[in-house]
Structure formats: C-alpha cells, structure tokens
Amino acid sequence: METIKALDVEDVVIKEFPYRGKMYEVKGVSVRWLSKCGDDGHGYPEYGLRLFTAQPGGEIPIHNHFYHQTMYILEGEFECYAYDSESDELIETKLCGPGSSIYIPSLEAHGMKNLSDKPGAFLCCIANVYENEQGVL
C-alpha cells in the first residue's frame, strides 16, 4: 500500500496538449499525479489518478487519447465539450459542477473550461482497456 497527501505532490502547469499532430494551448490548468502504474509506450501510465486544478477561465482544448478516463468534479463549474471524431465539429456541450462525473471513451475528442470565478478542481482516473482475442473488453 502507498499513501500520499495530494498537496505534497508536485503541481505541474500544463502549457500545451497535442491533437492530430498540432500543439494546442492549455490555459490556467495544472495537474498532480496521485498514482500511476505501468507504461503504455506513449509516455502515459496504463492506469493513473490525477488531480487537476483549473483557474477561472482555465481551459483544456480539444484533444483525445488512447486511454479511457473518468473525471469527477470537486469544485467549479465546467463546460465540457464533445467533438465529432471525424470533423472535429462541436457536437455536445454539458455544464458539470461538483458531484458530476464525466466518462470519456478511448479516442473520443473532448475538452473543457472552468466557467466559475474561483479555481475549479477535478479528479481524473485513466486506464487503458484492451480487447481480448474474441474482441471483448
């Protein structure tokens, strides 16, 4: 067993995030890795739990990734975006506040913005899920 206090973990500012070969600016967002395990071969763990902080107006632009993720909003009011996987056209916007959970399947394009006038925070669990030989997860 391993235990840590979230505030003892380095808070790393995220400046940009890649999407389809281009770097996009991340605004006012930082992350603390609370746990991680494994290596997916692309610089991310097979499993991880992260604590994100988004300043007022903080924004994570359109992006996707191989791993599945679930986010749980602790503080703030976030506008969460879903995009069409082929055209990158915005197809859905949802307002999510404390107590909201958001699941993002593998490779689904998404983004979010903190609409509140105070810092927002959310937990984000990531995990790679692979199909077996019969195509079942």
Which domain covers residue 118, as residue numbers?
64-137
Angle in degrees, CA 76, 80, 82, rounded to 5: 170
CATH number, position 101: 2.60.120.10
Question: Is residue 5 included in any domain, yes or no?
Answer: no
What integer is the mean pLDDT of 114-132?
A: 91
Model pTM score:
0.90
User: How many domains does the structure of the chain reveal?
Assistant: 1
CA angle 122, 66, 99 (to 5 degrees): 20
Strand, helix or coil for residue 123: strand
| Residue 129 placed within a domain | yes
Residue 47 lies in a domain: no
- Tell me, yes or no, whether 118 lies in a domain: yes
Does residue 24 fall inside a structural domain?
no
pLDDT digits (tens, 9 = 90+) for 58-80: 999 999 998 899 999 999 999 99
